[in-house]
Amino acid sequence: MARIPRTGLTGRMTEHPILVTGGTGKSGSRVVSQLKNKGVRVRVGSRSGEPPFDWTDRSTWDAALEGVERVYVIPFDGELLTRPFVRRCEEVGVKRVVLLSGRGVDVAGYAGENSAAGKTHIDGEDAVRTCRLEWTIVRPAWFAQNFSEGFFLDAVRSGELRLPAGDGAASFVDAEDIAAVAVAALTENGHAGRIYELSGPRAVTLAEAAATISQATGRTVRYVPMLPEDFIAELVAEGWPQADAEDYADAVSPIRRGMDSHISSGVQQALGRPPRDFSDFVRIAAAAGGWPS
């Protein structure tokens, strides 16, 4: 699919910093780097940022938004804070917001009723779609970087990826691609009112993911499928709160139920190029020392 031609950076953007909430996380840190590479001023929204930004402390919001016209919003899962934050953005003169959401927000039965991320994303998307700002929403599949920087990293290090995912597959998307789409939506015209569903170019089973990482790193990583109840009991025995363990199992369940293997075309639509393959992510992460002992 051809990409619609879009105009590039505007002069005003070099004057006004773009606020990147979650700017130290998997997609946010890459949005920060890619914006800086374009010569755009960036403010990192993080509890360790300057000024600090804390979702749970509204007294920090205004300083983070000072002089800002464009914001990348990575929500705070489990709380309904995107709505008041977007409202504050309207009040202080922000003009454009790009929201990171999640796959399945609009699919009945994708997430469980009590899913912390699900509730946050459904309310956050509604707040953004009904606000007065220019908006774009990105809905990514599971991030490939969960294996190197996120939920699955400890398991990969231990050599056993123990998950209740059955023999299901996910079309993991590279956080570099998520960031590239967000940067396009933040810096170009032509993305307003769009919802980009993002995935990688193919579905990868957990067993295939483990094998690819094994091959690239030379260390043995194997996938161990677990029953959801055993997975939850194991996490609780490790000290996890029951509700968090259930939430984790719930987040993985769409993979087991075959709801995460489809391919989404948002990277191609927004950037005019295909998404990066999972094996490229593994090769690059391994070369960068992504899985130290």
Under the rule (CB under 6 A), what is the footprint of ligand NAP? Answer: 22, 24-28, 46-48, 53-56, 74-77, 100, 102, 117, 140, 142-143, 146, 150
Comparing CB distances to ligand NAP, the nearer of 50 and 190 is 50
Comparing CB distances to ligand NAP, the nearer of 22 and 168 is 22
Phi first, then psi: what are they for 135, rounded to 5°?
Answer: -140, 150
Query: Which residue is it, tokens 């998404």?
Result: 275
Q: In Å, how far from its chain's centre is CA 20?
A: 13
Comparing CB distances to ligand NAP, the nearer of 220 and 288 is 288
156 CB neighbour count, 10 Å cutoff: 21
Q: How far is the CB of 95 from ligand NAP (least distance, A)?
A: 22
Q: How far is the CB of 11 from ligand NAP (least distance, A)?
A: 29
Task: State whether the Cα torsion 239-104-181-194 is positive or negative.
Answer: negative
Q: How far is the CB of 237 from ligand NAP (least distance, A)?
A: 23
Of 174, 83, 157, whose CA–CA distance to 120 is shortest?
A: 83
Tokens of residue 246, six digits: 């259930």
Side-chain half-sphere CA neighbours of 48 within 13 A: 3
Comparing CB distances to ligand NAP, the nearer of 6 and 194 is 194
Cβ atoms of 236 and 174 closer than 8 Å: no
Give the DSSP H or E segment for 209: helix 206-217
Comparing CB distances to ligand NAP, the nearer of 9 and 110 is 110
Q: Which residue is nearest to ligand NAP (CB)?
A: 25
Q: Are strands 134-140 and 96-100 parallel, antiparallel or unpaired?
A: parallel
Q: How far is the CB of 173 from ligand NAP (least distance, A)?
A: 8
Q: How far is the CB of 84 from ligand NAP (least distance, A)?
A: 14
Comparing CB distances to ligand NAP, the nearer of 19 and 40 is 19
Task: Compute the distance between CA of residue 29 and CA of residue 77 in angstroms, rounded to an integer.
Answer: 18
Q: How far is the CB of 117 from ligand NAP (least distance, A)?
A: 4
Which value, in Å, is the radius of gyration of the alpha carbons in the chain? 19
Q: CA 284, 158, 201: angle at the middle one, nearest 5? A: 35
Q: How far is the CB of 258 from ligand NAP (least distance, A)?
A: 17
Count of residues in the chain: 293
Comparing CB distances to ligand NAP, the nearer of 47 and 273 is 47
- 279: amino acid identity, one letter: S
